[in-house]
Amino acid sequence: MASLKRWVLVGLTACAVLALAYLPPRGVKSSDKSVFVGQSPQGTRTRQHAQALAEEWRNADAAVRLLEDRQQVKRDFVRASPTIVFRGATLPPHSVRNIETVMDSVWRGLGLGETKVRVTLVVALQQPSGPADSPTPLQDRVAYLTPDSTDRTTCIASLPAGPYWTLVIQGKRDARHEGFGRFAQWLQAGLGPCAFYAAYGTPGRPVQGWLAARNWDVGLYLGSHGIAGERFSSLDLLGNPRFSGFWDAVYALPPATVACLAGRWSGCSAAVLAGAADEATIPIPNVILVERRWWRVQRLLPGERYLGDVARTVGRDGFQSFWSSGQPVDTALALALKRPVGEWTADWERAFVRPIRLGPTPPLGGMAIALAIAVLALAIVAGTASRRQVR
């Protein structure tokens, strides 16, 4: 016992020496000092108002251009695939032929030939900024003009080429090294809703209203490889689940979208059928403007290919019956899928991502320790109780 006391004394003395050596005899600053975050400058109210007007003008101007294109563009009846028109520069005939060849192969890849609804693709080449007396025209979003009562057989897609594809199209950048496959993917993705119109005609009123209410987020891409090739879908933008950024991105999504990622049927059903109950009015002309960062406003991931995958699963006739159905969307979709919408969608989601785990997820080791402590506490209590003697 005397030996133990000595060692305890030595230990305490050592601690005191260490404390004297390492702890300064003054107050220290907190290590978790808050980081100063400065504000980003904002435009004045009048500047914001001007920007909002510019945005409205861009949309109106895009609609006018699409309507004018629909009136003016002469169809190329020799080719079955979309007519391509270039705006912003005149291209040499061989460049146009090359691009038409790529489009022909894209069209065949989608399984399309002669279609009742013809597609015209207007490729807007990047131009130097114009005069300062008007806002820059729409250059960062794809715009579509769908068939309506004034022209039931033409769907127009206006695709801004941006600086990179402008250089490639004009032959100023060597496309050989960049791969013409990516150019084909870009063209295919640019067809957007027009590809559905070409393949299946004008949708029935419920489907049209449903898609309009959600700005076509589930019908942006008819192809089977992912909107930017095999390597890209909106799911990839969530990042890696091992990092916290993934969960920040997940919880920024609507609740139904998150539930669907977790494999819950009800969540998938809600995510797919959002907007189906709305009484959306279809404007004439029906101009669809796809957000530049369309993946940020999706209610289903990777929603851009959802209808394309449905079409491939149920076959042409099945999808056609859904597409042109006059029944409510949930009924028509369930009939086409021959399964409840939520159940099918949850399976579809699982093909892209392993269901995420929602709620607390304690590590296995932590659970084992907690259980062991609980068992120990119970054993001690039981042992104490069994030895208790009443005098």
Partner 1 sequence: MSRLLGALLTASFLASPLQSQDSVIARLRRQADSLLSAWRDAQRLAALADSLEQVRATAGSDTIAVGGLRIIVNPSPLPLREAAERAWPVIDSLYGSAAEDLPRYPYIFRAVDPDSSVRRTVLHVGVEVPWDLDVRATTSLLLTTVTPPSLDAALADWLGSALRPTLRPHDEGAAVFIQLVTAPSEAVRRCFLGDIARCKDVLQIGDSTGLLARWYVTPAEREALVTGSFTDYFARGATAPTLQNCRQHRDDACIALLQLLPPGSLPRPLGQAARLVLVREALRAGGRDAYRRLVASPNAAIEARLSSAAGTDIDSLVARWRNDVLAARPRPLSLPWWAGFAAIGWTALLGFCALRSSRWRL
Sites of contact with partner 1 (CB under 8 A): 1, 3-4, 34, 36, 38-47, 49-50, 53-54, 56-57, 60-61, 63-64, 67-68, 70-71, 133-135, 149-151, 164, 173-174, 177-179, 181-182, 225-226, 229-231, 284-285
In the complex with partner 1, which residue's Cβ is closer, 53 or 367? Answer: 53
For the CB of residue 14, give the shortest distance to partner 1 in the complex, in Å.
12
Q: Quick one: which of 138, 116, 119, 117 has its CA closest to 127?
A: 138
In the complex with partner 1, which residue's Cβ is closer, 43 or 355? Answer: 43
In the complex with partner 1, which residue's Cβ is closer, 100 or 151? Answer: 151
Q: Phi/psi of residue 151, each to 5°?
A: -155, 105
In the complex with partner 1, which residue's Cβ is closer, 147 or 342? Answer: 147
For the CB of residue 321, give the shortest distance to partner 1 in the complex, in Å.
29
Q: What is the per-residue burial (b if ≥16 Cβ within 10 Å, else e) of 278-298? A: eebeeeebbbbbbeeebbeeb
For the CB of residue 335, give the shortest distance to partner 1 in the complex, in Å.
33
In the complex with partner 1, which residue's Cβ is closer, 61 or 100? Answer: 61
The amino acid present at 31, given as its one-letter code, is S
For the CB of residue 122, give the shortest distance to partner 1 in the complex, in Å.
16
Q: Phi/psi of residue 220, each to 5°?
A: -90, -15
In the complex with partner 1, which residue's Cβ is closer, 46 or 90? Answer: 46
In the complex with partner 1, which residue's Cβ is closer, 10 or 375? Answer: 10
For the CB of residue 133, give the shortest distance to partner 1 in the complex, in Å.
7
In the complex with partner 1, which residue's Cβ is closer, 101 or 153? Answer: 153
In the complex with partner 1, which residue's Cβ is closer, 101 or 136? Answer: 136
For the record, the structure tokens of 257 come out as 């979208």
For the CB of residue 370, give the shortest distance to partner 1 in the complex, in Å.
30
Question: Strands across the sheet with 83-87, in order?
Answer: 83-87, 118-125, 154-161, 142-145, 287-290
For the CB of residue 261, give the shortest distance to partner 1 in the complex, in Å.
19
For the CB of residue 277, give the shortest distance to partner 1 in the complex, in Å.
29
For the CB of residue 372, give the shortest distance to partner 1 in the complex, in Å.
25
Query: CB of 238 within 8 A of CB of 249?
Result: yes
C-alpha 367, offset from chain centre = 37
For the CB of residue 285, give the shortest distance to partner 1 in the complex, in Å.
6
Between the CA of residue 113 and those of 27, 185, 240, what are the distances in Å? 79, 18, 40
In the complex with partner 1, which residue's Cβ is closer, 164 or 243? Answer: 164
For the record, the structure tokens of 173 come out as 């950048």
